[in-house]
Amino acid sequence: MSIFLFVLMALALILVAIIRFNIHPFLALFVGAILYGLSTGMSTDLIVKSISDGFGGVLGRIGLLILFGVIIGTFLEKTGGAFVIAQQVLNWIGKKFVMLGMMITGYILSIPVFGDSAFIMLNPINKSLSFKGKLPFLATTVALTLGITATHSLVPPTPGPIAAAGILGADLGMIIFYGLIISAVGLVPCYFYCKYYLSRFHLEPVFAVAEGEAVKKKYPSLGKSFLPVIIPLVLIVLASVAAYPTRPFGEDNLFTHVILFAGNPIIALLIGVLLSFSLPEKFDVQLLSASGWFGEALLIAAPVILITGAGGVFGKMLENSGIADHVGASLLRGNYSLLLPFFMGFSLKSAQGSSTVALVTTASIMLPLMVTLGLDSEQMKVLTVLSIGAGAIAVSHANDSFFWAMTQLTGMDIKKGYISHSVGTVILSLTAMGLILLIANFG
């Protein structure tokens, strides 16, 4: 139990440093990770390796995505393009349904798009929609994050579910079918949680340009405003389809190679950045200088990237301390059938922060236990993967890079992040697992 005590102590230290003493989250996370490594008896070489792998690994995956997403968002905000999109979306769904619209949008986009990328790209639109609709920004933000989280953990082709399905030999089509239903129904209580509880909390959206200044500008057209967002998403979706095991576009042809390259999230968002340069009414190369909009975007992105990297260091330190083995050994002492993979996924997600790591690790631990637990039928394999995914939804907190991207990009303090997004992931996780048990017993 000592390793769990050290985890709790490290988390408490980080939270107290940030909340009580207002220490920058990057420093609190970074130092907290090192102290945790030392307290668990990790070798100095392994601690240094964890720092390097954790920081480099996370930023290698999403560092450029954050940067490119912030650049697109800055150009959309400063040119008024985000307001053009917001106004049109309001016209489509009505002011009364903005919160539901953000949840559904996040739910759909997170199926083919990495969760962090979907949030980064939709955040400027969410800010504008909340401002124009005079809606509680914190509630609409969490509606968006929970919509993204639901499909990220339960619906392939996101990496975690598809890897778990491969490890356990579960039918991918059935996982997609049941995953879509479970994740959608699981969001119902989350919607009411956002609408009736989180609406009480105030969070002011901060824009790169003041609303009063924005209305004086000549807006770009709706089509031009949508391009930096839509084109990257379409490319990423096409790449997901092209990479599907059946290879619908062909195995080895020019079109497939081009789509797989252009649909890589980094390349797709880079294309979005280039398209965002067309938004100003009169383009000036000074906009791309250190003192221009591009430079401002770098200043906005830098702390987000550093904090996200520090969260990666903390997560890798936990992983290299062997916490997965301890969690697995503790949970394997009882026979919980479908509850076992759920609790294991829940514990690993809470302990090290990554839903994908929780899904893959839990599936690997479960593989030799499937026959013993009576989970080796085709339907139970599918439900086992979904149980792991339901567990891997929660709890999203200080060691989750998505948590930090969400709080830092919205100006949300960590306390509000915990009582809104973190609690929301628990509601979603428990609801999804309840549905899975119903399907197992009556399906």
Q: Given a cut of 60, is residue 141 above it in pLDDT?
A: yes
Give yes or no for residue 109 having a pLDDT over 60: yes
Higher pLDDT, 82 or 282: 282
* 362, 388 contact by CB (below 8 A): yes
Q: Who contacts 123 (Cβ-Cβ below 8 Å, separation ≥6)? A: 69, 73, 141, 144, 409, 410
The predicted model scores a pTM of 0.72
Candidate ranges 18-32, 67-81, 85-99, 132-146; pick with highest mean pLDDT: 132-146
Residue-level pLDDT at 217: 61
How much is the pLDDT for 38?
A: 92
**Per-residue confidence (pLDDT) for residue 112, from 0 to 100:** 63
Q: pLDDT of 358-371, one tens digit each?
A: 888 788 878 877 88
- What is the tens place of the pLDDT at every residue in 37-63? 999 889 999 999 999 988 888 788 778
Confidence check: pLDDT of 113 > 80? no
- Greatest mean pLDDT among 18-32, 149-163, 184-198, 230-244 lies in 184-198
pLDDT over threshold 50, residue 338: yes
- 61 compared with 299, residue with greater pLDDT: 299
Q: What secondary structure, in 3-state letters, does 35-93 show?
A: HHHHHCCCCHHHHHHHHHHHHHHHHHHHHHHHHHHHHHHHHHHHHCHHHHHHHHHHHHH
pLDDT of residue 422: 95
Amino acid at the residue 266: I
**At 435, is the pLDDT very low, low, confident or very high (cuts 50, 70, 90)?**
very high
Location of structure tokens 């929609």: 129
**pLDDT of 173 higher than 90:** no
* Token pair belonging to 279: 């938004």
Mean local confidence (pLDDT), 239-255: 82
Averaged pLDDT score across all residues of the chain: 84
* Rounded average pLDDT over 291-314: 85
Rounded CA gap, 1 and 43, in Å? 20
Q: pLDDT tens across 184-228, in order?
A: 999 999 999 999 999 998 888 776 554 444 445 678 888 888 898
357: pLDDT strictly greater than 90: no
Alpha-carbon distances of 197 from 10, 54, 58, 130, 414, rounded to whole Å: 30, 35, 33, 16, 18
> From CA 246, how far away is CA 256, in angstroms rounded?
13
pLDDT digits (tens, 9 = 90+) for 387-425: 999 999 999 988 888 998 899 888 898 889 999 999 999
Is residue 351 within 8 A of residue 33, CB to CB? The reply is no
Q: Which residue is associated with the tokens 């997403």? A: 69
* Element of type H or E holding 113: none
More confident residue, 89 or 236: 236
